[in-house]
Amino acid sequence: MTLAVLLKQDQRTRLFFQSRIEDSNLRLIKFGILALALALIFSVAPNSAQQRQSNNERRINALLTRMTLAEKLGQLQQLDGEGDGNFRPEHRELVRQGLLGSTLNVRGAQRTNELQRIAMDESRLKIPLIFGFDVIHGYRTIFPIPLAEASSWDPALAEKSTSIAAIETYSQGVRWTFAPMLDIARDPRWGRITEGAGEDPYLGAAFARARVTGFQGRDYSAPGKILACAKHWVAYGAAEGGRDYNTTDMSEQTLREIYFPPFKAAIDAGAGTVMSAFNDLNGVPTSANPFTLTRVLRGEWKFDGFVVSDYTSVKELLNHGVAANDKEAAQAALNAGVDMEMVSRLFNQQGPELLKEGKVSQATIDEAVRRILRIKFRLGLFEHPYTAEAPESDSLLTRANRTAAREIAGRSMVLLKNERDTLPLNRAIGSIAVIGPLADDHRTPLGWWAGDGKPDDTITPLAGIKAKVSSKTKVGYAKGCDTLGDSTAGFAEAVALARASEVAVVFVGETSEVVGEAASKSSLDLSGRQMDLVKAIYATGKPTVVVLINGRPLTIGWIVDNEPAILEAWMGGTEAGNAIADVLFGDVNPGGKLPVTFPRTVGQVPIYYNHMNTGRPPDANSRYTSKYLDVPWTPQFPFGFGLSYTQFKIGNLQLSAQHIRPNGKLTVTVEVENVGRRAGDEVVQLYIRDVAASMTRPVKELKGFQRVTLRPGEKRRIEFTLDADSLGFYNREMKFVVEPGEFKVMAGSSSEDLIESKFVVD
Ligand code: BGC
C-alpha cells in the first residue's frame, strides 16, 4: 500500500467521523489513525523492498534456467559504440541473438531506444541492454573537474552536480555512468589525478559518498537517476613514476588505509557496480585479482552488484604476463570475480571451452550473469527499457543547470596568494588586460572527460570578465603564446597591452589534452613559453594576477615568489569564465582548499601530508636527516591550504575528555571567527596523530572538516566526533584496532596551520 493511498484513506475516515463525534474524541481518533498509518507504512515499506528483491531473484532464477550458455556469456559482454555515439552495425544482430548485454558510449534516446527495441522485441529472452557512458563531471552541462570540486571541501556540491548530471544522462537513454573515479593520487605526474578527489582517504570517502548518492539517489530505478560505478578498483592511482597503467606495489596496510576507504564509502552508499582496473597490484593484475575482487569486495564488504573490467583489461592480462593465451586470460578474470568484460571478447570466445574443461565452473558463470541481471532488475530496465524522446533543450544545459555549474565552480577555486589587496578587482576599473593562452580557450575548461559538453557552450574567462565589468571598462585581450611550442611572437602585443592597462590578469596552465588518461608528465612546470610570458608581464610593473587553469598541481615557484596574487581556478566547466569573474571581482569570496599537496619541484614527488615520520625527521641544522640538499623538504602549498578575501581565527580547541576507552567517543570543539571585513568561508579541518603504536602511523590524518560561511565578526563553534573508526588502524595481523596510548588532536585552516591538544586511550 502506498503512502498516498494510506493518507487518502486517513482523510476519508476523518471526514466520516468529523460530522459525528465531539472534538475531544476526535483528537484521540486522529492520533490513533495516524499511528496506525505510520505503523503500516513502516511495516510495509521494508517488506516491499524485500519483496521486490526476492521477486527479482525468482525472475533471475527463472531466466537462468532458460538461458543457453551463449546467452549467458552474451550478458557478460560489453561493446563500444561508434565515435559519434551511435551503435555499430554488428550490434543489431548480436542483440537479436542475445549475445550482447551492454554497450558503452552509445547515447541519445533515439539510438538507445532503437537498439533496445531489438532486445525487447526480437531477442528470445527479452533481456534489456544497459547503456553505459563516462559521465565524470557532467553530461552536457560540464561542472568543474572532480579534483576542483574536491577543492570546495563541500561534498554537498558534488552531490548536486552529479544529480544534475544524472538527469541529463538519463534523458539520453544512458542509465549507467563509469563514475565516480575514486583513485587516491599522491603523484601529480599521473594525468588522471584530475578525475579524483586528491590525496586523502577521508576527503576522498566523503566525496565518494556524495557522488554515488547524487547519481543514484536512494533508488536508482527512479526517473532521472543513474547507476554509479566505483572505479578503478584498485590502487590505479599509485602507478609507479606517475606513468599511466604502470605497476603498483604496496603493503596491505597502505592498500586498506589509503586506497580502500573511498571505495568502501561508495559501496556503503549503495554503488551498484565496480570497475576493475588496468594496473598490476603486488604481482596480481587488478582485473584478475581474487583478493580485491572477491575476498574484500564480496566477502568483507558484501557487495552484491557486478564488476565490469576496464577497457580491454581482460585481454591485457596477456601483456601483464599472467596469462599465456586468451583462454587463460578469460579464466583468470572470470574466476577472480570480473562479471562483465569491456570491449575484449574473451569470456564469449573462450567461455564454452573453459566450461567444458572444468576450468571455469557453471556456478561461476551463473553467478556473473545473476549479478548483472540483478542490477538490470534493480534499475527497472525490464519494466522501463525505453527513454522518452523529448527535445534536448528540455533537459540539457538548462538555465538552472548553468547556474548550478557557475556556483559550484566559484566554490571550487582556491586563492593561493593575495598580497597588497590585489584581489578582488574593482569592476569599475578603467582598463584591464586579459592575457594568456587560456584566457579565451573554449575547450580547456571542460577538462579531460567532458561527456557531451561542447566548447561552444563554454564561457571563457575573457567572456566572463567582459560580462562582469562596467560598460566603461576597457577590456583588452592578448594571447601572448600557446601552451606548447617555443614562439614568443605574441609577447610584444601582450606586454604593450599590459602597459596600457591598469591591471593584468594572466591565464596560464595546461590544456585538457595533457591531463586525464594516458597524459602522464615528467615535468610539472608551465609548458611552452608560458613562464616567460608571466615574467614579461610582471616586468611591466603593472599589478598582475595569475590565474591557473589546470588539472593537476603544477610547480610555479617563481610565480609564488614574485607575483602578488594567484588564483587556482582549475578546469571549471561550462561556466568557468563567469565563475572566475565572480571570484576576481569579489562577488564570490574564494573559500576552497587544496585537496592535494603542491610540490616545489617534481623531484619531491611523491609528496603528501599524511606520510609516516622517519627515524631522522628533517632538521635544517643537521645533515643526516631526511631531506634534500637542493630544495626544502616542505611543499610549495600544503594539503588543505587556501586563502580568502577575509581572515579567520581558529582557537579554543577543547576535548570532551582527556581519557577514553578504545571503543569510546570524544567530542572535539573549536572556535572559528571571521576577523576580517568581508563575509567569507573557512574550512575548519581536524587531524589526529597516534603518537606511538605497534606500527608507524602518519604524522597527521584528516578526521573531520566543515566549511562554514561567516559574516565579519561572526564566531562559530564547530563540533567533531572522534571514535574507533577515526582512531584505529590495521595492525601487523591486519586487524583493525585502536591501541592504547597518547593521541594528538589538531585543528586549523590547513594541514600546516594548526593548534593542538591531546588525549589518551586507555
Ligand atoms: C578508462 C575508464 C573508462 C573506460 C570507458 C578506460 O580507458 O580507464 O575510466 O571508464 O575507458 O570509457
- 311, 313, 452, 520: residue to mutate for ligand 1 pocket, most atoms within 8 A of CB: 311
Q: Is 244 in the pocket of ligand 1 (CB under 6 A)?
A: no
Which of 756, 751, 754 minimizes the C-alpha distance to 639?
Answer: 751
Please tell me the distance between residue 282's alpha carbon and the centre of ligand 1 in angstroms: 22
Q: Is 135 in the pocket of ligand 1 (CB under 6 A)?
A: no
Please tell me the distance between residue 32's alpha carbon and the centre of ligand 1 in angstroms: 56
The pLDDT assigned to 404 comes to 98
The pLDDT assigned to 35 comes to 52
Cell numbers 548485454 correspond to: 101
Q: Can you tell me the distance from the alpha carbon of 538 to that of 273, in angstroms, rounded to the nearest whole number?
A: 51
Question: What is the number of residues in the chain?
Answer: 762
Determine if the peptide bond prior to 635 is cis (ω within 30°).
no
CA terminus-to-terminus distance, the chain: 52
- 106, 133, 134: residue to mutate for ligand 1 pocket, most atoms within 8 A of CB: 134
> In sequence order, which residues have a C-beta less than 8 Å from that of residue 559 and are 6 or more positions away?
531, 534, 546, 566
| Nine cell digits for residue 554 | 603544477
Q: Can you tell me the distance from the alpha carbon of 411 to that of 403, in angstroms, rounded to the nearest whole number?
A: 13
Active site residues: 310
C-beta separation of 511 from 467 below 8 A = no
| Nine cell digits for residue 416 | 593561493
Residue ranges for the chain with pLDDT beneath 70: 1-46
Q: Which ranges of 291-412 would DSSP assign to H, the alpha helix?
A: 317-320, 326-336, 346-356, 362-378, 399-412
- 79, 105, 279, 517: residue to mutate for ligand 1 pocket, most atoms within 8 A of CB: 517
Q: Can you tell me the distance from the alpha carbon of 177 to that of 162, in angstroms, rounded to the nearest whole number?
A: 10
Please tell me the distance between residue 136's alpha carbon and the centre of ligand 1 in angstroms: 10
Q: What angle do CA 727, 733, 735 make, to 5 degrees?
A: 40
- 178, 307, 344: residue to mutate for ligand 1 pocket, most atoms within 8 A of CB: 178
Q: Is 517 in the pocket of ligand 1 (CB under 6 A)?
A: yes
Q: How many helices (H) and strands (E) does the chain have?
A: 22, 26
| Nine cell digits for residue 427 | 569592476
Q: Which ranges of 67-107 would DSSP assign to H, the alpha helix?
A: 69-75, 89-96
Q: Can you tell me the distance from the alpha carbon of 760 to that of 758, in angstroms, rounded to the nearest whole number?
A: 7
Please tell me the distance between residue 310's alpha carbon and the centre of ligand 1 in angstroms: 6
In this structure, which residue's CA is closest to atom 12 in ligand 1? 134
Please tell me the distance between residue 177's alpha carbon and the centre of ligand 1 in angstroms: 11
Q: Can you tell me the distance from the alpha carbon of 185 to that of 596, in angstroms, rounded to the nearest whole number?
A: 8
The pLDDT assigned to 28 comes to 46
Q: Is 233 in the pocket of ligand 1 (CB under 6 A)?
A: no
Q: Can you tell me the distance from the alpha carbon of 191 to that of 187, in angstroms, rounded to the nearest whole number?
A: 9
Q: Is 134 in the pocket of ligand 1 (CB under 6 A)?
A: yes
* Model pTM score: 0.94
Q: Can you tell me the distance from the alpha carbon of 196 to that of 595, in angstroms, rounded to the nearest whole number?
A: 10
Please tell me the distance between residue 233's alpha carbon and the centre of ligand 1 in angstroms: 12
H/E stretch holding 506 reads strand 503-509
Q: Is 183 in the pocket of ligand 1 (CB under 6 A)?
A: no
In this structure, which residue's CA is closest to atom 5 in ligand 1? 311
Please tell me the distance between residue 743's alpha carbon and the centre of ligand 1 in angstroms: 41
The pLDDT assigned to 45 comes to 55
> In sequence order, which residues have a C-beta less than 8 Å from that of residue 38 and are 6 or more positions away?
none
Q: How many CA atoms lie within 13 A of 632 on its CB side?
A: 7
Report which ligand 1 atom has the smallest distance to the Cα of 278.
8
Which of 439, 638, 602, 415 minimizes the C-alpha distance to 525?
Answer: 602
Beta bridge partners of 701: 688
